[in-house]
Amino acid sequence: MEEYSKIRQAEEAIKTVKDGTSLMIGGFGGVGSPPLLIDAILEKGIRDLHIICNDAGFPDIGAGRLITAGRARKLTASHIGSNPIAGKLMTEGKLEVEFSPQGTLAERIRAGGTGLGGILTDIGLENEYVRNGKQLIESGGKSYLLETAIRADTAILHCGKADNWGNLSYCKSARNMNPLMAMAADYTAAEAEELVNAGDMNGDEVITPGVFIQTVVQSKGVNWKWVWEEKQS
């Protein structure tokens, strides 16, 4: 019997991404975003996405490529400062942007992945924009905002290493939002720099267990150190 494997081609990995899909994209300024899977979504012509990510990436890197191409109708992120095109689309009314403080965003995604309805936080309590429309809850003599959990139809991630069962490990800061998003979507596809056989990963390496991953694809390879240095020059 052929050994069970979750390894697929990119086109099959994004089969759940359709017009109007809510899509989590791992990454921090592009580092940890899955370029091959983003390529496949662009090539498929998918539109009207609700993109959920840490930030808007750069115009030509990470989630920013989908935003630049006009494929998103809504963006939920902690900031968009690295992508001026996102700011332009927002001010023109062509992109709806929901801002969430970075730590709060991470916790909302974690809540979505662990089955919680939301979190209580005092972050943004004094900020009218952050507080607007949110329920205020008193607990232990203190006031908190109720921040609702976030889930998505699909999540696409990037990792350093994966086995054919979908167990993942990450390279340093490229880990960022990826492990949280892996748990908070109905379908999760991971793009891996290195593929190994099941059993070849040390148990201590595994950050995301394969139970959360439906598909793994082989990355073409991205030198994130070079990408970052290029953007700083």
Question: What pLDDT score was predicted for residue 221?
Answer: 61
Q: State pTM to two decimals.
A: 0.91
Q: What is the pLDDT of residue 222?
A: 53
Measured from the Cβ of residue 150, the count of other Cβ atoms closer than 10 Å reads 25
The whole-number pLDDT of residue 79 equals 95
Quote the pLDDT of residue 118: 97
212 closest CA partner among 75, 128, 114: 114
Residue 4 confidence (pLDDT): 83
Neighbours of 8 (CB within 10 A): 16
CB atoms within 10 A of CB 132: 8
Which has the closest alpha carbon to 61: 102, 31, 84? Answer: 31
Return the sign of the alpha-carbon dihedral for residues 87, 157, 173, 150. Answer: positive
CATH label, 10-116+154-232, candidates 3.40.50.300, 3.40.1080.10, 3.30.428.10, 3.10.110.10: 3.40.1080.10
Q: What are the sequence ranges of the domains in the chain?
A: 10-116+154-232
| Contact call for residues 155 and 185 (beta carbons, < 8 A) | yes
Q: What is the pLDDT along the chain (233 residues), one digit of tens a residue?
A: 347 899 999 999 999 999 999 999 999 998 999 999 999 999 999 999 999 999 999 999 999 999 999 999 999 999 999 999 999 999 999 999 999 999 999 999 999 999 999 999 999 999 998 889 999 999 999 999 999 999 999 999 999 999 999 999 999 999 999 999 999 999 999 999 999 999 999 989 999 999 999 999 999 865 444 444 444 55
- b/e 68-100 (16+ beta carbons within 10 angstroms → b): bbebbeebbbbbbebbebbeebbeeeebebebb
Phi-psi region of 27 (alpha: psi -120 to 50; beta: other; left: phi over 0): left
Which stretches does DSSP call E strand in the chain? Answer: 22-25, 49-52, 72-77, 96-99, 118-121, 136-139, 142-148, 152-163, 168-169, 185-196, 215-218
